[in-house]
A = this chain, B = another copy of it.
Amino acid sequence: MSRWEPDARGRLERAALELYSERGFEQTTAAQIAERAGLSERTFFRYYADKREVLFGGAQLLEGVFVDTLAAVPASVGPIDAMALTLEAVAEFFADRHEFARRRQEVIAANVELQERELIKLASLTAALATTLRGRGVSEAVASLAAEVGVAVFKVGFERWVRAGSGSLASFLREALAELRVVVSP
């Protein structure tokens, strides 16, 4: 019979990131994460398929938020404005996740395999956004470009938000998009 463990997922996540920071991702085991969280290894595997999923388990959820939001923007809104509205919704997804995001980025920056996994995540996101834009009647070329731009703004804004000690992700994403517009304007 499984005991009810209050906030087991959150405790495992915090324990995992602590250990990844202290010992390195490769040197940490699921058993150690569970122990640090005061939970059993079995509980760990009830929430995560493996230790990498603590870092990437949210990727599909994030992609879902991106795609669902973008698809729901009225068709009359142009691709880049639709992307801007989508980024606002995505920023909500990260409310209260600043500390997690900061630690996660640190762990990923220290491990080439995790960096590759992150690239794959963002490429998948870009492809999903381009498909969604085409579903909104946007031409193939414009859909690809707008998706690339949206993800580029997300990446750059997100990194600056993570590095900054304070501020909302939404404001960093808005700023990055505004800068991009200035950069690209003839």
Contact of A141 among B80, B115, B142, B179 (CB under 8 A): B179
Total identical chains: 2
Size bin of chain A's contact surface: 20 to 34
In the bound assembly, the distance between CA atoms of A183 and B146 in angstroms comes to 7
Contacts of A146 in B (CB 8 A): 183
Cβ B183 vs Cβ A185 within 8 A: no
Chain A stretch 146-186: residues in CB contact (< 8 A) with chain B: 146, 148-149, 152-153, 155-156, 159-160, 176, 179-181, 183-186
Contact of A183 among B80, B115, B119 (CB under 8 A): B80
In the bound assembly, the distance between CA atoms of A186 and B159 in angstroms comes to 24
Contacts of A152 in B (CB 8 A): 145, 148-149, 152
Contact of A184 among B123, B144, B160, B184 (CB under 8 A): B184
Contacts of A149 in B (CB 8 A): 149, 152, 180, 183-184
